Amino acid sequence: MVAIPIALMVAVVVIDVLAPPHIHLGPLLVAAPAITASFAGPWLTGLIATLAVVAQAIIAVLRDPDELFSANHQAQIAALVLVGSSLVIFCVLRERRARELTQVRYVSETAQRVVLRPLPKQIGALRVASLYLAAEAEAQIGGDLYAAVRTGSGTRLIIGDVRGKGMTAVGDAALLLGAFRAAAHRQATLVELVTYLDGSVCWGLAEPGETDQTGETFITAAILDISDQDGMVHMIDCGHPPPVVLRNGRATTIDAYQPAPPLGLGELAHPRYQVDAFNFEAGDLLLLYTDGVVEARDSTGAFYPLTERITGWTESNPDAFLRRLRRDLLDHVGGQLGDDAVVIAIERHPHPGDRGRDWK
């Protein structure tokens, strides 16, 4: 790349010297450091700017040694020095900004790994794949959340979505995930677990120094208990989009019989949690997702019809299924989502006794 501005300077010097006296191409030398600044750092840009000043002096000497001190050539040299210095300063500031963005991105990715730990490919008797699609190109984490914990008889999972955006949503997501990981393997029943999670969210929102957000901040969530011994899944849905089971190419939405209010509203609603149960056999694919999927709109404003789009899909491998779903979803919205989206695909092993490694 550096050969381009050098070749440009050589061409300008040769043409300017051989051209008639009334033609002056020296001002074109400013293009050399400008081109260099587009791809190089401050040191190389400064070097090319210096060579441009030297080239301008060579033009003056070769045309007429007395012209080197003429007002015209002095003005052109001063202009090259000014533009070159400005470009070097620009490159310095650009590199500093790039280092800051790299550091911010590193911190963001680290926070994501701490708060939103990637799900392993295998959890007990389940094969799992997860997908996080950020609405913002540079975003690494938001208010969507998920986690899984092994118990003595199966696997408990949570998927949720915090109302709101920004760091407040990230903090609320971290609060719920911490409570879930601490209690999921200790609470005896699903009702006790959800009651504990609701209390933890309510307590966290009422911490001293926080603004009064009661009734304004909440978390929709679905908490599932997948048994290792049979093909049953027990679920409490707290205002979250219902899961979908794909069986032999047919997609079935598992609507809760009596959905509970979102977590964080328990003190206002005093809910009685209803546990729903449904079959999840070997060969089925269980799909959990946040509302960023079903509320994704195309250019006409139509929502993404999840169950309609996946009906007939035969991918039983969770990774392959999510790759296809990602392509289809992004095609629907034209390449960029309007809200963060999380999707988890789960497959049960054909042989219930084959639970893989003991994951915790």
What tens-digit pLDDT sequence spans the chain (360 residues)?
888 888 988 888 888 777 777 777 778 888 999 999 988 999 999 999 999 889 888 888 887 776 667 777 788 888 889 999 999 999 999 999 999 888 877 776 666 666 778 889 999 889 999 998 876 655 556 678 999 999 888 899 999 998 866 667 778 888 899 899 888 887 678 999 999 999 888 876 555 555 445 446 789 999 999 998 888 999 999 999 999 999 988 999 999 988 899 998 877 767 789 999 999 988 899 999 999 999 999 999 999 999 999 999 988 799 999 999 999 999 999 888 888 889 999 998 765 544 444 444
Backbone angles phi, psi at 248, to 5 degrees: 55, 40
Q: Are 56 and 76 in contact (CB under 8 A)?
A: yes
Q: Look up the pTM and report it.
A: 0.71
Could you tell me the sign of the dihedral formed by the alpha carbons of 66, 72, 74, 80, in that order? negative
Q: Are 174 and 115 in contact (CB under 8 A)?
A: yes
Tell me which H or E stretch contains 155. strand 154-162
Contacts of 208 (CB under 8 A, 6+ apart): none
Spatial CA neighbour of 258 closest among 280, 243, 237, 232 = 237
Backbone angles phi, psi at 223, to 5 degrees: -115, 125
Q: How many Cα atoms occupy the beta-carbon half-sphere of 293 within 13 Å? A: 28
For position 207, what pLDDT does the model report?
57
Q: pLDDT tens-digit profile of 112-136?
A: 666 778 889 999 889 999 998 876 6
Query: What is the rounded end-to-end Cα distance, in angstroms, of the chain?
Result: 52
Q: Are 347 and 318 in contact (CB under 8 A)?
A: yes
